Structure 1
Amino acid sequence: MNTTPARAAGSGGTALDENYAKNLQRATLASSIGSALEYFDFALYGLATALIFNVLFFPQGDPAMATVAAFATFGVGFVARPFGGLFFGMLGDRLGRKIVLVITIVLMGGASTLIGVLPTYEMAGIWAPILLVLLRLLQGFGAGAEQAGATVLMAEYAPTARRGFFSALPFIGIQAGTLLAAVVFSLLTMLPEEALMTWGWRVPFLASFLLIILAVLIRSKLEETPTFVEMEKREQVSEHPLRELFRNGFPGVLVGIGLRMAENGGSYMFQGLALSFFVTVVGPEADKGLLTWGVTIGSLIGVFSVPFAGALSDRFGRRAVYRAGALFMLVYSLPAWWMLTLGNHALAIAVIAIGIGFAVATMLGPQCAMLPELFGSRHRYLGVAMAREISAVLAGGLAGVLGAYLIAITDANWLVLGLYMTVLAAITVVSTFLVPETLRRDLTRTDDAVKISSVEAGDDVWLNGSQGTGASAVSARTSFTVDRTPVSADER
């Protein structure tokens, strides 16, 4: 029996159809609000890191090193994310998707709100950056499972034939949150310098509390996903998802990390690092407020381009669309960073907007369905969380710290930053050739789409213990294999 959400919705008559439609709508809204809050906080933190935190929370003997230290606190949040993904990912696979999404939104949003009441370095000395780091750790710990949960929730709710489109809809929240942060920060920079540095920067962090209340109210009314309900009926819920992930899902995690390098790293480089780079190159003449409109416009474009890319992946496949975005970033990286050195504000805004709205968004669209499709249902939440959050450390977190350090030691050499982004894009391009096509995969399946297999005398021998033992397994040739299970007619 194959019970995908789409089929479940249509198998019980009009009443079940209406109930499914309401839950699909509620799931989309619940996921979108969480995504908006997460990326509002992270984009706001990134913008504040480059322009405010480096001044208020660190000693100013060496401004360049103060910026590096500020970006280090930005990166600390990414270090905490895999641990949050590990902890909450296991809970999500054991207890269900819904309860974990309520917990993570409260933890993540609460930490962000408390940042708004922190004392500065002038007020509290060394305790100021210490408290900032602690709250950043809590923020990252909650965020480590938030986006993975939203991704899994929507993929398991979405109709099979349009999973790419529906799974991408909550990720409008990513663009909306980034857009809101950019708009708010642009408005804040219009304040007098003294007002901005004393109380103005605190306002948007404190306002996170409103989004928390809204998200909790919506998520508390959400029903569990059809996939997890079906797992409970079949008594397939895993008691040890971490053990299963290491035994069966590790190849999927590795491929998922590679897929995220360009998307995640490129996103944070364009959102935060590009601003710091431009200000360093141009100097006092740089208009900080004007430049944030690049992030604003790019996020506004992403509101449309992310679901459009998701819809394209329903038609042409996840890999083709993902690879197109990665190739675009590959050829765009060097020209983009060179154009930032020209000191033209309008050109810099366009560079950032194109990077976020097209290069990053084209990968993000198909990724929303692709990552959940890589993993079996028993460890899907944990698998997606690990792929997302380990890549967030390697790409997003490292991009800020390493990028700021490279700017400082190379005197803002554009070629070094351009090559760095090129490497991230190249890793993702290669990864698209390692991942199987997961279009319309049945999400009630317990096996993974990417497997480590052995081939001897033309036979597949799984190295996870289900088939193949003894000498035949030892002497076999190890390789990645692609799930080529045909799609049934009613899933198309």
Structure 2
Amino acid sequence: MPPRSTTEGASTTRRVVIASVAGNMMEWYDFFLYTTAAALVLGSVFFPSGGHPLVGTIAALAGHAVGFAARPIGGLIFGHIGDRRGRKAALMGTLSLMGGATFCMGLLPSYSTAGLLSPLLLVLLRVLQGAAAGGEWGGGVLIITENVPAERRGFLASFSSCGMGLGFVLSALALWLAEQVSGDGFLVWGWRLPFLASVVIFLVGIYIRRNLGETDSFEAEATDTESTPHTPLREVLRRHPRQVLFAMALRFSDSGASYIFMSFSLVYGRYVGISSTVLLWAGIGGMLVDSAMMVVFGRLSDKVGRRPVYLGGAIGMLVWSAPFFMLMSTGQTAAVWVAFVVGHITMAAMIGVQPSYFSELFSTSTRYSGMALGHELSTAIAGGLSPVVATALLAATGHFLPVALLTMGLALVSLVALVFFAHVPQEPGQDAPRDADQPQKEEHTTPVA
């Protein structure tokens, strides 16, 4: 493939970054919509408890966990498609599956109308959402990391994470607008509107991705049929097992804690008497700060390395776990905002660096499958279970301390991995993972292998 001119390269970079951000934002709007709605309303509609006010919420969040359990399966399916047929084919599939499942959620009958069939259908659709989300993250990352120069990879790849953050903001705003329905309208039908509106987002996303080309790295690899494995997953497990385990450990801190901060915090806030409006707006503000800081930390990782930036985020999460809930316990709006904003900054240091850090762990022919496996297995365990476990701990003890200890434990898993197991072996010829011992030269312009 002939080298691009400087102007053509800059235009391509802008196009793939915009496509990644827009596509991720639309896809994660759908996924986060259930997470936010589960904490606010879905328990009452689909899982009436008739007793303890948190029982229905726990059941709705259990559906959240089931969706997360499906993420590794989706990651393996779409990772295989992405490594064999191309990144674009996989991303078109994830968007279609996610959009269809979310729209159908808005059409489901309530428990009072359909009985047990209602929650069963909801959980089934959540499984489909989870499978789509499992395949989305890696593809959204790779359309950037496999198209940009190595010395700017941390900065540019962090924009893909911004799309996730903006998707959460969009879903929270949609639910807040739906909550403005007077009387019992929100509980009866208003909550459905954000789910039904996803059809518009789906159509826009399909348009954007249909006009997206394949990545440079995949096209270069595809010309060498001997280097393309028939079973990418088997190659990942044979050649990159330590990389997969390392990625899993890194994900424990930000995945588990982020869903405690984003989802369980809504449960806890309402438990201590904070209005859902304050909670949603504080979450929106925190996520906007998060999205901006992801780019800052991504750029910083190009300068000082991936590992020290990620390490700083994990330490910040460990330190902030207890103060987060102490501030929320005051019930004061300003304190709630501080809790969310600082918490999201600690997450940004990890989430903003993940796209470049993880993509540098695997070779091109198995990169989609390897990233999906490490990212989604940990997400299913830590991200899927943490809000459910946290809500159960709150119901059992009535206090935030056990939840704070849970969050600290998740952060410790990542810290141990970063301190003792960061130097995983790297595939020959690949760009090495950026850490404090391997500073990147600013003049280095080797494209992604």
State the TM-score bracket (shorter-chain normalisation): over 0.9
Query: What secondary structure does 1:426 align onto?
Result: helix
Q: 2:94 maps to which residue?
A: 104
Q: Is the 8 A contact 1:83 1:144 kept in 2?
A: yes
User: How much has 1:188 moved relative to structure 2?
Assistant: 2.4
Indicate conservation of the 8 Å contact 2:242/2:424, yes or no: no
Q: 1:238 is aligned with what amino acid? A: P
State the AA in 2 paired with 1:48. Answer: A
> How far 1:39 sits from its partner (Å)?
2.4
Task: Write the distance in 2 (CA, Å) between the matches of 1:91 and 1:42.
Answer: 21
> What's the offset of the Cα at 1:437?
8.8
User: Within the alignment, does 1:491 sit opposite 2:432 as a pair?
Assistant: no
TM-score by length of 2: 0.93
Residue 22 (structure 1) aligned with residue 11 (structure 2): yes
Rg larger for: 1
Give 1:61's match in structure 2, choosing from 28, 36, 50.
Answer: 50
Matched residue, 1:325: 313
1:244 CA displacement: 0.7
C-alpha contact (below 8 Å) 1:227/1:444 kept by paired residues: no
Letter matched to residue 211 of structure 2: K
Separation (CA, whole Å) in 2 of partners of 1:377 and 1:483: 24
- Residue in 1 that maps onto 2:414: 428
Confirm or deny: 8 A CA contact 1:252 1:449 kept in the other structure: no
Determine if contact 2:169/2:287 at 8 Å carries over to the other structure.
yes
Q: Which sections of structure 1, spanning at least 5 residues, go unmatched?
A: 1-7, 451-481
Percent sequence identity over aligned pairs: 36
CA shift at 1:304, angstroms?
1.4
SS of residue matched to 1:212? helix
Cα pair 1:375 1:449 within 8 Å, conserved: no
2:378 alignment partner in structure 1 = 391
CA RMSD of aligned residues (A): 2.4
Instruction: Report what 1:462 is aligned to.
Output: none
Question: In 1, are the aligned partners of 2:247 and 2:358 still within 8 Å (CA)?
Answer: yes
Give the structure 2 partner of residue 84 of structure 1: 74
Out of 396, 406, 415, the position equivalent to 2:401 is 415
The structural deviation recorded for 1:424 is 0.8
Greater CA deviation, 221-230 or 76-85?
221-230
Q: What secondary structure does 1:300 align onto?
A: helix
Query: Structure 1 residues 444, 92: closer, same or farther in 2, change over 3 A?
Result: farther
Counterpart contact for 1:377–1:445, Cα < 8 Å = no
Distance across 2 between alignment mates of 1:95 and 1:109: 22
Shift of 1:95: 1.0
Per-residue CA deviation, residues 73-115 of structure 1 (Å, 9 max, x unaligned), is 1111101100000111111111111111111111011111111
Residue 202 (structure 2) pairs with residue 215 (structure 1)? no
Alignment gaps of 5+ in structure 2: none
Tell me how many residue pairs correspond in the alignment: 442
- Contact preservation (8 Å) 1:326, 1:428: yes
Give 2:341's aligned residue. Answer: 353
Specify the SS of the correspondent of 1:238.
coil
Q: Deviations over 1:46-98 (max 9, x none)?
A: 22111100100012312322111111011111011000001111111111111
SS of the aligned residue for 2:54 comes to: helix
**Hey, what's the Cα distance between the residues in 2 that align with 1:189 and 1:444?**
54
Q: Which residue of 1 aligns with 2:364?
A: 377
- Superposed displacement of residue 444, structure 1: 9.4
CA contact (8 A) 1:436 1:483 kept: no
The alignment's TM-score, normalised by the length of structure 1, stands at 0.85
Deviation at 1:222, TM superposition (A): 1.4
- The 1-side partners of 2:439 and 2:298 are apart by 22
Q: 8 Å contact 2:72–2:372 — kept in the other structure? A: yes
Tell me if the contact between 1:248 and 1:448 (Cα under 8 Å) persists in the aligned partners.
no
Q: Distance in 2 between matches of 1:354 and 1:189?
A: 27
How much has 1:354 moved relative to structure 2? Answer: 2.0
